[in-house]
Amino acid sequence: MDIQLLGGKVILLTGGTEGIGYECAKVYCEAGAKVSIVSNNLESIQQAKKSFDNDCIHYILADVSVARDIENAVAETIKRFGKIDIVHNNAGISSPSSTVCDTSDEEWDKLFNVNVKGIYHTTKYAISQLTKTRGVILNTGSLVGEIGQERHAAYAATKGAVSALTKSMALDYAADGVRVNAIAPAGVWTPMLRSWSRQQINKEEIEEYLDNIHALGYCPDSDVIADACLFLISEQARFITGCILPVTGGAELGYRKLLQSNPTAV
């Protein structure tokens, strides 16, 4: 990897202290970027500080669902690093694992406020910087936004919204030279997936199930997603916008068939 692939770039990364976001922050720093990480979890920030070179990373305690928090996070990033070239909207939640009718109003609203409205907030407050730098927005979506998922209706709905929003934003900001794309993983071993797996009715079979839904035969760790994210935000992807890039190990090629043959798998 060219260690200067992101040389001189400044990235605002939400949800960057664990899982996919953590691996992305690590890869982005290795590629030469400065990264401002937004997290609403002080404990996870403190844990991440033990692993990262803090000359590369700046941490901000903020909630993506709160407009004032993100307005302040953008201003703090600019004060610290002087500009913003890239916004990676990675923060997200998945709970509850339930049908529409079993999802409460509060759970529904929280999912949309974090997973979708968080993108609205970062874009609203950072777009003036991105138009100056002819920058990039990357959203972390999911394969389930395209194909759905049993007992995960609200989460799948938010990821479908992320895909549609990504394409609309790509059209809106193309004239300003701002590219907007999304990454769409299938199963990836993260703390959030571990939490999800514990909510399933057949917990003992979940690991094997997650391996089997991927055509390549295994459920990956977050580093495979981080490598794809690095490509999409770099100049190597300079003519790509409005793309929902599946990084799925071929999960969509056999996912529906597997669910039909094993309807209690998820």
Q: What is the pLDDT of residues 113-160, one digit of tens each?
A: 999 999 999 999 999 999 999 999 999 999 999 999 888 899 999 999
Do the Cβ atoms of 192 and 93 come closer than 8 Å?
yes
In-domain check, residue 112: yes
In-domain check, residue 261: no
165-171: long-range contacts, CB 8 A cutoff, minimum separation 24 = 165/116, 165/119, 165/139, 166/139, 166/141, 166/242, 166/244, 167/242, 167/244, 169/123, 169/137, 170/241, 170/242, 171/242
Do the Cβ atoms of 193 and 258 come closer than 8 Å?
no
Q: How many residues does the chain have?
A: 266
In-domain check, residue 202: no
In-domain check, residue 258: no
In-domain check, residue 86: yes
* Strand ordering across the sheet containing 57-61: 57-61, 34-39, 10-14, 86-89, 136-140, 179-185, 244-247
Within 13 Å, how many C-alpha atoms sit on residue 188's CB side? 25
In-domain check, residue 193: no
**What total of structural domains would you count in the chain?**
1
- Classify residue 63 as left (phi > 0), alpha (psi -120 to 50) or beta: beta
Domain that holds residue 140: 10-188+219-250
Q: Assess whether pLDDT exceeds 70 at residue 99.
A: yes
The SS3 call for residue 118 is helix
In-domain check, residue 25: yes
Closest CA to 139 of 164, 157, 112: 164
The whole-model pTM stands at 0.90
Task: Quickly count: other Cβ atoms within 10 Å of residue 13's Cβ.
Answer: 28
CA distance 26 to 51: 9
Percent of the chain with pLDDT over 90: 73
Q: How confident is the model at residue 212 (pLDDT cuts 50, 70, 90)?
A: confident
Q: Which of 155, 173, 209, 255 is catalytic?
A: 155
Please give the DSSP secondary-structure letter assigned to residue 189. Answer: B
In-domain check, residue 264: no
Percent of the chain with pLDDT over 70: 91
CA angle 14, 142, 71 (to 5 degrees): 25
Known catalytic membership, residue 155:
yes
pLDDT at 3: 55
Instruction: Output the domain CATH number for residue 53.
Output: 3.40.50.720
Per-residue pLDDT reduced to its tens digit, 35-64: 999 999 999 999 999 887 678 999 999 999
CA distance 29 to 154: 33
